[in-house]
């Protein structure tokens, strides 16, 4: 263990640091664990949501009657995850049927006016915003880690330099001074190692969320076009 620590500057710096320095190291380790866990889950969830959306879109393409499409998640689709396409369709279907029932009560035939279509479109885009917000849930944790990681590293740097000057002032052994410098440099590196993957993952997930929102908008436009062709008067 000692031989391994001697060959690893980070472990050596951790073992030689005081209780406050060890606390900084552990804080960075915990942030790293949270970051990688959240990144892995969000990337996996995004792939599953994309898959379920493609499955629903294929069922939609095969449907003849848009308002009577029956969707059931197929094998391999996890029901607990968000299904944005289905939620968009369900909201559009509910609003359309309610308006058509009202119009059918007032007239002999069920129909949709331009004002009705505008209302349905507005409600559909509200659902898109809600689904987009759901997909980006907890992403603020990554942005917090991106900011907090380097600051914790900087705190370790300042603390290590303070220890070094304290040892110099007290004329203590050179090994004590080196341990302070070692902790100062190691916490800086660890802080950057924690923040850089979190920053890359955060930007990737944000861009993927924007692309998926455009996909949802395209899908909703397709639904609205079909509704307009079938039921507009």
Give pLDDT tens digits for 9-58.
777 777 777 888 889 899 999 999 999 999 999 999 999 899 888 888 87
The average pLDDT across 216-233 equals 85
Judge whether 15 lies within some domain.
no
The average pLDDT across 123-143 equals 92
Judge whether 184 lies within some domain.
yes
End-to-end alpha-carbon separation of the chain, Å? Answer: 80
Q: What is the DSSP string of 180-192?
A: HHHHHHHHHHHHH
Q: Is the pLDDT of residue 205 over 80?
A: yes
Judge whether 7 lies within some domain.
no
The model's pLDDT over 167-181, given as tens digits with 9 standing for 90+, comes to 666 655 555 566 777
Judge whether 12 lies within some domain.
no
Judge whether 17 lies within some domain.
no
Task: Please tell me the predicted confidence (pLDDT) of residue 2.
Answer: 41
Let me know: does 209 contact 43? Beta carbons within 8 Å: no
Task: Return the higher-pLDDT residue of 67 and 123.
Answer: 123
- How distant, in Å, are the alpha carbons of 138, 139, 206 from that of 201? 13, 10, 8
- How distant, in Å, are the alpha carbons of 90, 107, 112, 131, 215 from that of 128? 12, 32, 22, 5, 10
Q: How many domains does the chain have?
A: 1
Can you say whether the dihedral through the CA atoms of 109, 115, 121, 125 is positive or negative? negative
Task: Please tell me the predicted confidence (pLDDT) of residue 3.
Answer: 38
Judge whether 109 lies within some domain.
yes
pTM, 2 dp: 0.80
Range of the structural domain that residue 93 is part of: 34-62+80-231
C-alpha dihedral over 23, 24, 28, 29, to 10 degrees?
-30
Judge whether 70 lies within some domain.
no
Judge whether 125 lies within some domain.
yes
- Quote the CA–CA distance of 111 and 137 in Å, as a whole number: 38
Average pLDDT, the chain: 82
Q: Is the pLDDT of residue 231 over 90?
A: no
């Amino acid at each position: 263990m000692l031989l391994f620590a001697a060959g690893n500057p980070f472990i050596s710096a951790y073992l030689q640091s005081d209780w406050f320095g060890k606390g900084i190291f552990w804080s960075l380790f915990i942030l790293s664990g949270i970051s990688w866990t959240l990144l892995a889950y969000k990337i996996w969830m995004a792939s599953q949501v994309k898959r379920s959306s493609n499955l629903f879109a294929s069922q939609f393409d095969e449907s003849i009657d848009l308002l009577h499409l029956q969707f059931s998640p197929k094998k391999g689709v996890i029901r607990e995850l968000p299904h944005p396409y289905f939620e968009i369709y369900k909201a559009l279907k509910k609003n359309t049927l309610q308006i058509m029932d009202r119009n059918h009560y007032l007239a002999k035939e069920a129909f949709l006016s331009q004002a009705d279509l505008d209302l349905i479109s507005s409600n559909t885009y509200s659902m898109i915003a809600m689904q987009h917000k759901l997909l980006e849930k907890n992403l603020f944790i990554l942005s917090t880690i991106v900011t907090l990681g380097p600051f914790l590293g900087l705190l370790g740097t300042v603390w290590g330099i303070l220890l070094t000057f304290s040892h110099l002032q007290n004329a203590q052994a050179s090994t004590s001074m080196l341990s302070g410098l070692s902790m100062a440099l190691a916490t800086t590196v660890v802080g950057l190692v924690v923040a850089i993957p979190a920053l890359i993952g955060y930007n990737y997930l944000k861009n993927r969320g924007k692309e998926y929102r455009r996909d949802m908008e395209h899908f909703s436009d397709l639904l609205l076009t079909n509704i307009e062709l079938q039921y507009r008067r």
